[in-house]
Structure 1
Amino acid sequence: MIKSFKKKEITDYSDLTRYFHTDDRYKEINAYHNSYPYLIELRYVQEFDEFSSFPTWYPQNGVNIPSKKSTYKLTVPENYSFHYKFYNFTPKEHIQSSESFKTYTWQSENLSPIFIQEPYLPPLEIIYPTGRFIPDNFIFGGIRGASKSWKDIGNWQSKLISGLDKLPENEIKKVKELTNHLDCEYEKVKQVYKYLQNETRYIGIFIGIGGWKPFDASYVCKNKYGDCKALTNYMMAMLKAIGIKSYYSLINAGDDEPDIDTNFPGNYFNHVVLYVPLEKDTLWLECTNQNIPFGYWGTFTNGKHALICDFENSFITQTPKFNHGENFINQKSIVDIIDDELSVQMQRDLFGEPFEMVMDNLSYSSEKSLIEKATKTLPFRNYKINHVRYDSIKNNRNIGYKEILQLTFPNNIQKYGSNIIVRPFNAFFETKYPLNTERQNPISIFHNLRITDTIQLNVPQGYELELIPDDFQSITKFGKYKLQYNLKENQLFILKTAELNRGVYPISDYPKFKTFINEITQNERQKILLKKL
């Protein structure tokens, strides 16, 4: 043994990195040593007064780190029932009975490090060794519950929030006054949602049972803040006041979080949204964001399974997911060659995830601030934004932005004698990490995406087109790409369409996926030769 750590060398912190106020804590040690490799042996105990699930087992304590051995031990009364499941590994199991208790021991050995420096990586828990353990019956928040089915969990959650939807009379009157002049339920929900966004703000508070039980609606009404649970409950209470039924719904949100395993009931959600089934429409409302348009269902919760909490009628359903016509960029550019640079007038229609990427930028009023923010979201390299403006646009019910840009590309022109080589800017699928020869993890495309790009290159006076690349098309299960060149007098039109198809693809598909992406990259880098007359 090289070193052991005393209690005073272990630093204890409140985990305020994610929430405004929480009773979650973490401990930290500085286990530095000047010779590699070395092993770290860690043992810890967690104590809970109440629980609806046992602690999740992660036999590896970090990515890119191997695990020599990890043990999970669970001692329960002899007749205690629970269900469990292991993902991405199969530990050894040993069960021992003594007196009136039964001890389960699981052990993993020699787990290889998980390599995450790869593009198109799925959420870590899809590839990370994980063990989940859920009691079939429990008492939490003073309420008896069960986890044998999703209906059981929804029933317990419904009981936990029962009675928290009471509003002050003056608030009920105000909500009715806001909506009495409207005949359509859709428009009434929209009006109340706008009121919610204008009057409240999000603050994450997770203390004890507060991690599962929201503040009551009257508290939010008075204090004008709440977390996802409290704001959703408040919105539900306001809709109830005008006779519209809605449902508190649990979901595991975030692109970095996996969807729930619908075949393994358990309370492992991290977010709450509101489900509003109308006669001619179904709405999903994100109640924590003051900026998103009404009815917009974004990438944070797109295509995930949610638990609709309705007592004995609770059920699991999948939320809407983007189709290619909802998550897209339609880009048009006019390109001139001026002083050995590309001068570009560009318009980009942004919907879905591209819309979200610039949505928060609009809170900055000065053009300088907008340019700084836009520079971080555009997919190009080596360019300068001279001007940017955003206009709101609609595509059916979908809200988007028209991004209007004036750009300069100083490095896309090369002169060879009196001739000019032009390299149009690459608009598609840049990756943070290279597509290596080997792949260790599945390929994950989170959302359907379409990008269309029309470039009008104006040939400068005194030049003619000498060399134009060939057209190209590729259609695969991962998506498709099409590139066409059309010459009209002294203008070259470059027409491009690319699509990615949502899905998690096995490692065995990687060679074909790599070929698809590399073909796009190679064709995006094709050069055009202009000859001096």
Structure 2
Amino acid sequence: MLLPVFASLTLLVPPAPKYPADAIAPALRENAHAVVRAFDKVVTVKSAGQLVETVHRVVTVLDEAGSDDYGREVVYYDALNRINYLHGAVYDAQGNLLHQLRPAEVHDQGLGSAGGSLMTDVRVRYADLRQPATPYTVEFDYEVTSANTLFYPDWQPQHDENVSLEGATLQVTTPTALPLRFEEQLLPAGAASPPVVAGSQTTYRWRLPAAPAVEEEPLAPALSALLPAVHLAPATFEVQGYAGSLASWQSLGQWVYELGKGRDVLPPALTAKMAQLLVTSPDPRERARKVYEFLQGSTRYVSVQLGLGGWQTSPATSVATGGYGDCKALSNYTCALLKAAGLPAYVALVGAGADHADVRTGFPSSQFNHAILCLPLAGHGTTPADTVWLECTSQTEAFGYMGSFTGNRHALLLTPEGGRLVATPRYGAQANRQQRRTDLWLDPSGGAKATVRTQRLGLAQDRYAQLLHEADPEEQKKYVSNHLRLSHFTVTSLRLAPAPGPALPGVVEVMGLELASMGTAAGRRLLLEPNVLGRLGALPNQVGARQAPLALPPAALYQDTVRLHVPTGFQVENLPAPAQFTTAYGTYSSTCTALPDGTLQYVRQLETRRPGGGTLPAAKYGEYRDFRRKISQADNAQVVLVKTDA
């Protein structure tokens, strides 16, 4: 018997709309490119050696500016972290399902680096659900099982500017016998719930309410330090059978030290070669310098991130044989070389990078991404006054120099007794110097030619040292041109060279310039600013009450001398008045004088300071802005030349 036609049809009911864009509160749309509708993370600790992280993330992309960062999902994994699944869906403005992510659309890719400088088992899975029309909403779910419990995942649902938050939750369940350690950062009242114990498990919960988008303010710390977060860490952990404790910096350092124990043995011939330096170079510092020069001339850096290899160093014999290693291996190898030369040293872990936040000293946990070497020259203590720090991965870095990459922060010294937090070198104004001499030949129409010699030392030379050793001449010229505060100019010649002198590393830059409009013609007069290259801009007025603390740039000393060659047929009508002032933020002076040979000489000096360690309350912004405004006004003072009747 045939069934009625209507009985054989399955009614397809479309899913109900989810996350419609018009449900977002107006306050969350203000200044926002995207809105995090939900960021729910569940961490389940299975044992001292395993945890599972489950993430549910929903973001409404409001405009094209938010699409690249929030229309996609990227999940990292390696030999110690396994992705169980990655699901996704995308919805239109009304919340109607546009597309469900298919398995074939989840891409898998290994990480690599040109030139063979990276050996890693790290891979990524990523999904792209970006849409041509906004607003739209993406929803991603993924789960990762980790056998590397040295790292617990952090939780910071809102971490970018111009992104608001509708709500987020964090739940951590751990065996009561494996206590959770956590550090709360700027959480609103009521965000944390009391831990709940059920049987042998303890569960912790946090919830963040809606929060508007934030905009970065001038000279503010990184947003990651200014927005709510929960940092997680274990009390005890295990990685590939190696158990450890994070109860203190001492215990973390002990674990890492034990991983490298016995891996500092050199080939006998190399040991003898280093020992010979005791005879040929009896001065400890000079001996250490020779060891460092040997290291730089015989090894190269290759990053190794393979399982436990991310933490356990390769043996020193492997580096000696192969001529390469990662930061741990090269530091361990250098330590072995120095030991053979009669100079005990210690490997140290550090958070490297010019923008890397310093260690949260009150929360022992794995916050490091690099290894360096600490060499105490005065005695055998671990923190003597006379200490040399060595960057062992660079073939060009100056002996004993840390710079912006690893200087002015804490490092974890690895000793037989365990770890100890110590400070790496801090560079003050006198160390960070920029000294510039400019000769400027002005023509009657306001154009000019100039030769400029600039010597940069300390932190001021960091980027230029990279250019000197790593970039071709065209790339050097492009970088220098892009960082000149000038308009309508041409760099006609450029030469970079190491600065003479053994104290601090430096770079000398000699440059030729053509400037189409150095001076402004006004009838019979030429108006120009003698501060050709050293002008410091003013800071904007704060709109509304400032929220973020003030993070001052490193202290520095800037010295400029400009010799201005007046064109024939012109004479000086007016010179800028001398300027001089001193505040808590620095000292400034500038003068412009006529010399007997008919030239003008402009001399400017600015020495900046960092009161309060460089971080000040938000209320100090106006005071610092006034300091910068006074500098800007003096820097833009003009010389007036007038055409003679002759």
- Whether the TM-score (by the shorter chain) exceeds 0.5 is yes
Aligned residue runs from structure 1 range 212-291, under 5 A: 212-279=311-378, 281-291=386-396
Following superposition, the deviation at residue 141 of structure 1 comes to 4.4
Following superposition, the deviation at residue 321 of structure 1 comes to 0.9
CA distance in 1, matches of 2:262, 2:240: 14
Match of 1:447 in 2: 554
Match of 2:413 in 1: 308
Deviates more, 1:183-192 or 1:362-371: 362-371
**Partner amino acid, structure 2, of 1:303:** N
Following superposition, the deviation at residue 221 of structure 1 comes to 1.3
Question: What SS does structure 2 have at the residue aligned with 1:303?
Answer: coil
Match of 2:50 in 1: none
Aligned residue runs from structure 1 range 13-162, under 5 A: 13-16=109-112, 20-33=118-131, 36-60=134-158, 62-90=160-188, 91-116=191-216, 118-162=217-261
Contact residue 125 and residue 258 of structure 1 kept, 8 A: no
Match of 2:566 in 1: 459
Contact residue 123 and residue 255 of structure 1 kept, 8 A: no
Question: What SS does structure 2 have at the residue aligned with 1:221?
Answer: helix
Match of 2:629 in 1: 518
Greater relative CO, 1 or 2 (CA 8 Å, sep 6+): 1
Deviates more, 1:283-292 or 1:385-394: 385-394
CA distance in 1, matches of 2:139, 2:580: 54
Following superposition, the deviation at residue 98 of structure 1 comes to 1.9
Question: What SS does structure 1 have at the residue aligned with 2:364?
Answer: coil
Structure 1, unmatched stretches of 5+, are none
Match of 2:643 in 1: 532
Following superposition, the deviation at residue 35 of structure 1 comes to 5.8
CA distance in 1, matches of 2:471, 2:627: 41
Deviates more, 1:18-27 or 1:522-531: 18-27
Q: 1:481 aligns with which of 564, 576, 588?
A: 588
Q: 1:411 aligns with which of 478, 497, 517?
A: 517
CA distance in 2, matches of 1:219, 1:22: 18
Following superposition, the deviation at residue 415 of structure 1 comes to 1.3
Match of 1:509 in 2: 620
Question: What SS does structure 1 have at the residue aligned with 2:466?
Answer: helix
Following superposition, the deviation at residue 440 of structure 1 comes to 4.8
Residue-by-residue CA offset, 1:48-88 (whole Å, 9 max, x unaligned): 12311311112126442212222222111123223211223
**Partner amino acid, structure 1, of 2:528:** V
CA distance in 2, matches of 1:40, 1:493: 62
Deviates more, 1:16-25 or 1:199-208: 16-25
Match of 2:441 in 1: 336
Deviates more, 1:373-382 or 1:193-202: 373-382
Following superposition, the deviation at residue 367 of structure 1 comes to 5.8
Residue-by-residue CA offset, 1:404-442 (whole Å, 9 max, x unaligned): 2222222221112222111332414459x9665455533
Deviates more, 1:219-228 or 1:460-469: 460-469
Contact residue 114 and residue 128 of structure 1 kept, 8 A: no
**Partner amino acid, structure 1, of 2:319:** V
**Partner amino acid, structure 2, of 1:507:** A
Summarize the Cα distance change of 1:308–1:381 in structure 2 as closer, same or farther, 3 Å threshold.
Answer: farther
Match of 2:299 in 1: 200
CA distance in 2, matches of 1:488, 1:437: 46
Deviates more, 1:223-232 or 1:48-57: 48-57
Residue-by-residue CA offset, 1:304-350 (whole Å, 9 max, x unaligned): 10111113253111111111111110112222213632222222121
Contact residue 536 and residue 635 of structure 2 kept, 8 A: no
Contact residue 147 and residue 240 of structure 2 kept, 8 A: no
CA distance in 2, matches of 1:23, 1:430: 46
Q: Does 1:495 align with 2:595?
A: no
Deviates more, 1:128-137 or 1:433-442: 433-442
CA distance in 2, matches of 1:45, 1:436: 43
Question: What SS does structure 2 have at the residue aligned with 1:172?
Answer: helix
Question: What SS does structure 2 have at the residue aligned with 1:120?
Answer: coil
Deviates more, 1:453-462 or 1:190-199: 453-462
CA distance in 1, matches of 2:474, 2:624: 39
**Partner amino acid, structure 1, of 2:616:** Y
Question: What SS does structure 2 have at the residue aligned with 1:314?
Answer: strand
Match of 1:173 in 2: 272
Q: 1:358 aligns with which of 461, 464, 474?
A: 464
Deviates more, 1:411-420 or 1:441-450: 441-450
Residue-by-residue CA offset, 1:7-63 (whole Å, 9 max, x unaligned): 443333334479723233333332334665555444432211231131111212644
Following superposition, the deviation at residue 192 of structure 1 comes to 1.0
Following superposition, the deviation at residue 467 of structure 1 comes to 2.1
Aligned residue runs from structure 1 range 349-388, under 5 A: 349-363=455-469, 370-388=476-494
CA distance in 2, matches of 1:479, 1:141: 53
Aligned residue runs from structure 1 range 391-406, under 5 A: 391-394=497-500, 397-406=503-512
Contact residue 390 and residue 401 of structure 1 kept, 8 A: yes
TM-score by length of 2: 0.76
**Partner amino acid, structure 2, of 1:142:** G
Match of 1:12 in 2: 108
Question: What SS does structure 1 have at the residue aligned with 2:143?
Answer: coil
Contact residue 236 and residue 245 of structure 2 kept, 8 A: yes
Question: What SS does structure 2 have at the residue aligned with 1:89?
Answer: coil
Q: How many residues align?
A: 531
Deviates more, 1:400-409 or 1:346-355: 400-409
Aligned residue runs from structure 1 range 415-434, under 5 A: 415-424=521-530, 425-429=532-536
Deviates more, 1:315-324 or 1:364-373: 364-373
Summarize the Cα distance change of 1:364–1:26 in structure 2 as closer, same or farther, 3 Å threshold.
Answer: closer
Contact residue 455 and residue 507 of structure 2 kept, 8 A: yes
Q: 1:294 aligns with which of 382, 393, 399?
A: 399
Summarize the Cα distance change of 1:61–1:442 in structure 2 as closer, same or farther, 3 Å threshold.
Answer: closer
Contact residue 304 and residue 318 of structure 1 kept, 8 A: yes
**Partner amino acid, structure 2, of 1:269:** F
Contact residue 156 and residue 311 of structure 1 kept, 8 A: no
Following superposition, the deviation at residue 130 of structure 1 comes to 2.7
Q: Taking every aligned residue pair, what percent have the same amino acid on both sides?
A: 27
Deviates more, 1:500-509 or 1:349-358: 500-509
**Partner amino acid, structure 2, of 1:52:** L
Deviates more, 1:80-89 or 1:433-442: 433-442
CA distance in 1, matches of 2:303, 2:627: 42
Following superposition, the deviation at residue 282 of structure 1 comes to 0.8
After the TM superposition, which parts of structure 1 deviate over 6 Å for at least 4 consecutive aligned residues? none
Summarize the Cα distance change of 1:446–1:169 in structure 2 as closer, same or farther, 3 Å threshold.
Answer: farther
CA distance in 2, matches of 1:379, 1:477: 27
Match of 2:13 in 1: none
CA distance in 1, matches of 2:485, 2:321: 44
Summarize the Cα distance change of 1:87–1:286 in structure 2 as closer, same or farther, 3 Å threshold.
Answer: same
Task: Output the aligned Cα RMSD.
Answer: 2.6
Summarize the Cα distance change of 1:373–1:364 in structure 2 as closer, same or farther, 3 Å threshold.
Answer: farther
CA distance in 1, matches of 2:431, 2:483: 19
Contact residue 327 and residue 353 of structure 1 kept, 8 A: yes
Summarize the Cα distance change of 1:348–1:228 in structure 2 as closer, same or farther, 3 Å threshold.
Answer: same
Summarize the Cα distance change of 1:370–1:65 in structure 2 as closer, same or farther, 3 Å threshold.
Answer: closer
